Amino acid sequence: MFSKELISKFEGTPTPFYYYDMALLRRTLDSLQTAADKYGYKIHYAVKANANPEILKTIASYGFGADCVSGNEVLMAVECGFPSDKIVFAGVGKSDKEINDALANDIFCFNCESVQEIQVINQLAAQNGKIAKIALRLNPGIDAHTNKCINTGLEDSKFGINFNLLEEVVKEIVVLNNIKLVGLHYHIGSQITDLEPYRLLCNRSNEMQQKLQLLGLNLPEINLGGGLGIDYDDPDANPIPNFETLLDTIHENLDVKKGQRVHFEFGRAVVAQCGTMIARVLYTKKASKTTFAIVDAGFNDLIRPALYGAHHRIENLSSTSDQEGIYDVVGPICESTDVFEQAYKMPVTQRGDLLAFRSAGAYGEIMASRYNLRNLAKSYFFD
Ligand code: LLP
């Protein structure tokens, strides 16, 4: 994937940095658009995965909506060209200021996670002379079979409203004058590589629709959230996630009434593969059982391995050795969890080598911090 010509362009650029393949991003967006258009599904890009303005502007240019989880994400999405009336706003803890910012921008819908939150939105909407459109984020009680840190649809997770409480909550909120209930929202987790949880989600959605009908409600919006996983092991073999198979599965399993719209909020699947973190090897050193390759990027630059035990494929872009070595690839941060990989096979690696940490476009740059007072990595865009 990295040609000699491209690698030569990296020389002289201070490391670590994020490299984005914008042609791949566009091919991914084309593929998503084709898959969604087949059924008229509405796509909202989950801004949390990567809020770099260049990336946001490119995604917005396709006419997609945005899924935001903070007031600042709403403001940034608007600034980067997402139409306000295609913005959804989720989150268990929306502050009054964030709600007011979203109201001021007339967003499409608040995805609400508690009755109290809905009461506050109602009150703030009344103060602003507005009617806020809301969807209930239901916790469907489904195991997404993914890393436990990013499994969000289990009954006791902090997200959403327990699906068993649907009727009770609806009765409590329909009396409020400054909100309009327009739909149901779900999000069962992230990096989901198995279609079964999505089938279960469709069943749950169908069941919830029936309950609503018994209450005399036919809500126009169904939002199934995001979560589609990507291939971290072999990004070159699978650079574009299979949106089509997922959306075909949804189409086969989801009851959609006339006039209803189906929404999705993909983050990782859109941006993960187009991003790579490039770092340089500072030192190598031997210990009794291992050899360390110490790189100039730490978990402040890419936190997924330290936080979730996630794996990013690492490629040595400059080694010319035909011998292999086994390395613990670690960062410079003064914490023992600053480890990218242990016992990792790479061509013999030495000081000065450039390493590519693949599939880092989602939840990479955006989760960076200045821990240890390190600089934030810059980003570069190539076509
Ligand atoms: N919608 C909602 C309400 C969400 O909470 C999320 C992600 C998404 C959509 C987008 O999910 P995606 O399509 O990207 O899977 N930092 C973690 C992932 C956290 C996901 C949080 N919510 C990681 O690096 O794996």
pLDDT value at position 29? 98
- For the segment 65-89, the average pLDDT, to the nearest whole number, is 98
- For the segment 341-368, the average pLDDT, to the nearest whole number, is 98
Q: Would you place residue 265 in the very low, low, confident or very high pLDDT band (cuts 50, 70, 90)?
A: very high
Q: Cβ(327)–Cβ(289) under 8 Å? A: no
Backbone angles phi, psi at 350, to 5 degrees: -140, 170
Mutate to test the pocket of ligand 1, among 190, 224, 303 (most ligand atoms within 8 A of CB): 190
Mean pLDDT is lowest, of 47-56, 151-160, 260-269, 334-343, for 151-160
Same domain? 226 vs 290: no
pLDDT value at position 372? 98
Domain C-terminal end among 271, 302, 334: 271
Same domain? 267 vs 282: no
Same domain? 156 vs 287: no
Residue nearest to atom 6 of ligand 1 (CA): 226
State the DSSP string of 9-54.
HHTTSPSSEEEEEHHHHHHHHHHHHHHHHTTT-EEEEEGGG---HH
- Lookup: tokens for 301: 């630059």
pLDDT value at position 151? 75
Q: Would you place residue 148 in the very low, low, confident or very high pLDDT band (cuts 50, 70, 90)?
A: confident
CA distance 383 to 371: 32
Q: What percent of the chain has pLDDT over 70?
A: 100
Per-residue model confidence as pLDDT tens digits over 49-74: 999 999 999 999 999 999 999 999 99
- Which strand (E) or helix (H) includes residue 4? helix 4-10
CATH number, domain containing residue 28: 3.20.20.10
Same domain? 158 vs 146: yes
Same domain? 288 vs 185: no
Per-residue model confidence as pLDDT tens digits over 163-217: 999 999 999 999 999 999 999 999 999 999 999 999 999 999 999 999 999 999 9
- For the segment 272-282, the average pLDDT, to the nearest whole number, is 98
Q: Give 6's contacts (C-beta < 8 A, 6+ positions apart).
A: 382
- For the segment 345-349, the average pLDDT, to the nearest whole number, is 97
Mean pLDDT is lowest, of 41-55, 71-85, 134-148, 359-373, for 134-148
Same domain? 246 vs 225: yes
CATH number, domain containing residue 313: 2.40.37.10
pLDDT value at position 121? 98
Q: Which long-range contacts (CB under 8 A, 24 or more apart) does 317-321 make?
A: 317/2, 317/7, 317/10, 317/278, 317/353, 317/354, 317/355, 317/356, 318/7, 318/352, 318/353, 318/354, 319/346, 319/347, 319/348, 319/349, 319/350, 319/353, 321/347, 321/348
Is residue 156 pLDDT above 90, yes or no?
no
CA of residue 67 to ligand 1 center, whole Å: 10
Q: What percent of the chain has pLDDT over 90?
A: 92
Domain C-terminal end among 271, 300, 325: 271
Same domain? 166 vs 51: yes
The pocket around ligand 1, CB under 6 angstroms, is made up of 46, 48-49, 67, 90, 150, 187, 190-191, 225-228, 265-269, 304, 308, 363
pLDDT value at position 69? 97
Q: What is the average pLDDT value for the chain, to the nearest integer?
A: 96
CA distance 325 to 64: 45
CA distance 299 to 377: 12
CA of residue 189 to ligand 1 center, whole Å: 7
- For the segment 237-259, the average pLDDT, to the nearest whole number, is 98
CA of residue 47 to ligand 1 center, whole Å: 9
Same domain? 11 vs 76: no
- For the segment 71-93, the average pLDDT, to the nearest whole number, is 98
The pTM for the full model equals 0.97
Same domain? 256 vs 303: no
Please indicate whether residue 322 or residue 1 has the higher confidence score (pLDDT).
Answer: 322
Same domain? 76 vs 180: yes
State the DSSP string of 196-224.
HHHHHHHHHHHHHHHHHHHTT---SEEE-
Residue 73 gets the label, from left (phi > 0), alpha (psi -120 to 50) or beta, of alpha
Same domain? 335 vs 285: yes
Is residue 247 pLDDT above 80, yes or no?
yes
Q: Which domain holds residue 339?
A: 4-17+273-382
Same domain? 254 vs 289: no
